[in-house]
Structure 1
Amino acid sequence: MHRILIPLAAFVLASPALALAQDKPTAENIMAIQDALVWTGDYQGPLDGGLGASTLTALKAFQARENSPGKGRILSADVKKLAELSGAAKKEAGWSLAIDGKNNVVLWLPRALLTAESDASGGRGFASGDGKIALSVFTSPDALNALHAKAKTGERIVDEALDKQRSIVIGAERDKEFFGFATLAKSGTKGFRLAYPASEAPRLRPMAYAIANGFVADPGAPIAKKTVRNVPSFIGAFRFDATERPYAYGSIDVEERTVTIAGPDFVANLTAGDPPPPPDAKPQKRKRRPERDEPFVPQLTIYSEGKHLFEVSDPAWLTHFSDIRIVELDKGNASPEVMLTSFTDGAHCCTLLTIFSAQSDGSWTRIDGGSFDGSPDFPQDLNGDGVFELVNTDNAFLTAFGCYECSYAPDEIRRLDGNRLVDVSADAAFQNRHRAKLGEMWNRGWEDGAIGSEGFLAGFVATAQRTGDGDAAWAFVDANHVPPKKATEAPFAERLKVFLSGRNY
């Protein structure tokens, strides 16, 4: 098991590569900086990883506005500010993954802006609520030629090739501007057209470049691998960028063997207790000092105003590391809950979760949260109602359609209801969380070259079912599935449908 502790107080939508940029950045760092400069409105161009004239001009404009002394040199303070501003812009725009399975296209869109959707004859269409901003995907060179012709009759603003395979055309007609993008794919020319009021051009033209930079056609085809540098895996990715948790937290291990944290009306202490002796062990006259790497059994004690409320320990919690949280999981009682997790040994296992909840008569009830793979990404207040949900990957997907490392699992979201944990993953209130997960999954699959694998597609379709993109994802499967070398009893789509049905997807 790989133990990863992620601060949960806040997150910033940004590029992981951006956080690593230095005075002498790599090509990937520069691509991340270019992506951020698009979102600050300073750069309009491709992510080519080079510090060319347009990139330097954009960087200097940003630095001048922010009173940075960089003057074209990439300073760590600039990187931090770029991450902050571009991340906030992506979050406000609802920047998330969209799937056009019919045309076998994946693209990133500002879903907070393009809230309406239509399945046009040529594929999926997206528009603002008032219809003034509209995006459509095209799969014919005729559509691109029509845009070029339209630009010639109106006001042609930009008509250029980004590289050997991609080109853009920007034109204006009366009070509207349109942005056309096309790329050479295995099945032919594919692209999109974005139309918007000319008055909105300063805001939407940079966003159109951002859409173009994340546009992927025929992702499972060999040509996509040749153009991977033009579509970096971090497009639209988010990272956690916080130093504090929004709740009381403490941990113990083989060296730090006790911790105390305070809730609103009680104190919780977690101490490393002795492991249970082997069945045939001889009794010892005096207690020996624990070995440095010896596992222990956590012992939880809760006090209120100096009064001992209860104490509990369980040999099943035997561990080398355990942590404790005081967090509001259910407002149906007077006090927040106490969460205890312990980590067992093993390559892919396990986290044991136990919750203690105060009852109206002053007693505390123990709720077993089960065991699951890896380190939990919880708790999080996903919908801002003051009650925290427990978020973890759905372990049923691990090894179900491929090896452990080949598996891509969707999020499982649970909420405490009385004295039981309820799966609320399908609740519409958490759709944005699943959209973020879909983007994370795509980035990892794209980087790993796993887009056509069954392990990727299973999790991808399941997550898309949660975001409302299920039909498009199934069409994506038809276009990109790569059958495994080992023959299976039934086609992948049939096996996946049965599996998802049994898991309430």
Structure 2
Amino acid sequence: MRRALIAAGVIALGLIAAPAALAKTETAHAGNVTATFSFQGQLPNFHGLRLTITRGGAVAYDQPVVAKLCETLCWPGALTGGQPAVQVVDLEHTGDPDVVLELFSGGAHCCTVVQVFSFDPGTMTYVKTERNFGDPGTRVVDLQHNGHFEFLTADDSFAYRFTDYAASGLPIEILTFASGHFTDVTRSYPRLVAQDAAVWLKAFEGMAEGHYADSVGVIAAWAADEDLLGHVKLVNRYLSAQAKAGHLNAPFGAGGTKFVAALQKFLRRRGYLR
């Protein structure tokens, strides 16, 4: 089953081949900003993670890497399809690039942590903003090819919500970053949302062969996408028909009309329904 942006593995960038005693360094730059991410070790034991940022050759930030979720025990990131662990990108479209560092907490279904470092001219150093993207991970992309960058991910709050992880559908989520905050802008990309909805609907319809066993996870993701598009009546009609037909099933928790009620409550709380 297709799950949005799920990390394929944790051995990207050849980390597993690095001798434990040797340091590995990744460098990225844009404009006058250069970021150097260094660490030692190999899977599953990394240590000595450090980030150094220079501006015009002068050091503006040089600190050990510490995250709330995994503290000093994080793994280098780059788990979402070959994206480097450190990037220098003008996220805020100000002409002054930010540094994006991706980390991984370890574990089968968790978690990608992203740290964004933004320059503060008042203190002449970098301020860190951290976000846990959970299991889906994220990619920094320029979706409109206009020099503005977004974080393309999926809504991890759907994982385990209505069924087990393997059968959960995670709807598309798109975020921007500015002034120390991530903002959900998924509604601004209706074409991508519609494409995602089509994927989940196809997955649901494909469950007919198995008599729609454990079907609530994928239809929940479809409903979320369609509600974002403003197709609330369509969603209500379709869910009602599928419940009546006995197609909304879960190995545990609510199915049928009880699932529909729980889903609508959840979608309203998460901002999909307005």
Match of 2:7 among 3, 9, 15: 3
Q: 1:268 to 1:252 in 2, by over 3 A?
A: farther
* Alignment-derived partner of residue 47 in structure 2: 296
Amino acid at match of 1:272: F
Match of 2:229 among 441, 444, 467: 467
Q: Does 1:318 align with 2:73?
A: yes
Partner Cα separation in structure 1 for residue 168 and residue 268 of structure 2? 19
How do residues 84-103 of structure 1 correspond to structure 2 at under 5 angstroms? none
SS of the residue corresponding to residue 168 of structure 2 reads: coil
* Alignment-derived partner of residue 476 in structure 1: 238
Q: Deviations over 1:368-406 (max 9, x none)?
A: 122411332x21222344211112111111111111111
Structure 1 segments unaligned to the other structure (5+ residues): 6-249, 274-289
Q: Deviations over 1:103-122 (max 9, x none)?
A: xxxxxxxxxxxxxxxxxxxx
* Alignment-derived partner of residue 493 in structure 1: 260
* Alignment-derived partner of residue 28 in structure 2: 261
Partner Cα separation in structure 1 for residue 260 and residue 267 of structure 2? 10
Partner Cα separation in structure 2 for residue 458 and residue 409 of structure 1? 8
Q: 1:370 to 1:483 in 2, by over 3 A?
A: closer
Q: 1:297 to 1:311 in 2, by over 3 A?
A: same
Offset at residue 363 of structure 1 (A): 2.4
Q: 1:319 to 1:474 in 2, by over 3 A?
A: same
CA contact (8 A) 2:113 2:131 kept: yes
CA contact (8 A) 1:394 1:409 kept: yes
Q: Does 1:436 align with 2:195?
A: yes
CA contact (8 A) 2:203 2:218 kept: no
Q: Deviations over 1:107-158 (max 9, x none)?
A: xxxxxxxxxxxxxxxxxxxxxxxxxxxxxxxxxxxxxxxxxxxxxxxxxxxx
Structure 2 segments unaligned to the other structure (5+ residues): 78-84
How do residues 116-135 of structure 1 correspond to structure 2 at under 5 angstroms? none
Q: 1:412 to 1:258 in 2, by over 3 A?
A: same
Q: Does 1:416 align with 2:183?
A: no
Partner Cα separation in structure 2 for residue 360 and residue 394 of structure 1? 34
CA contact (8 A) 2:36 2:52 kept: yes
Q: 1:476 to 1:495 in 2, by over 3 A?
A: same
Q: Does 1:379 align with 2:146?
A: no
**Which of the two has higher C-alpha Rg?**
1
Offset at residue 366 of structure 1 (A): 0.7
Q: Deviations over 1:8-46 (max 9, x none)?
A: xxxxxxxxxxxxxxxxxxxxxxxxxxxxxxxxxxxxxxx
Partner Cα separation in structure 1 for residue 153 and residue 42 of structure 2? 33
Partner Cα separation in structure 1 for residue 14 and residue 181 of structure 2? 27
SS of the residue corresponding to residue 166 of structure 2 reads: coil
Match of 2:149 among 383, 388, 394: 388
Partner Cα separation in structure 2 for residue 380 and residue 338 of structure 1? 14
CA contact (8 A) 2:112 2:134 kept: yes
* Alignment-derived partner of residue 353 in structure 1: 114
TM-score under structure 2 length normalisation: 0.77
Q: Does 1:308 align with 2:69?
A: no
Partner Cα separation in structure 1 for residue 152 and residue 25 of structure 2? 27
Amino acid at match of 1:350: C
Offset at residue 491 of structure 1 (A): 1.4
Match of 1:329 among 70, 91, 94: 91
Q: 1:501 to 1:483 in 2, by over 3 A?
A: same
Offset at residue 251 of structure 1 (A): 5.5
Task: State the percentage of identical aligned residues.
Answer: 21
Match of 1:365 among 119, 127, 149: 127
Offset at residue 3 of structure 1 (A): 2.8
CA contact (8 A) 1:318 1:342 kept: no
* Alignment-derived partner of residue 341 in structure 1: 102
SS of the residue corresponding to residue 390 of structure 1 reads: strand
Partner Cα separation in structure 2 for residue 347 and residue 292 of structure 1? 14
Q: Does 1:445 align with 2:204?
A: yes
Q: Deviations over 1:180-217 (max 9, x none)?
A: xxxxxxxxxxxxxxxxxxxxxxxxxxxxxxxxxxxxxx
Q: 1:442 to 1:354 in 2, by over 3 A?
A: same
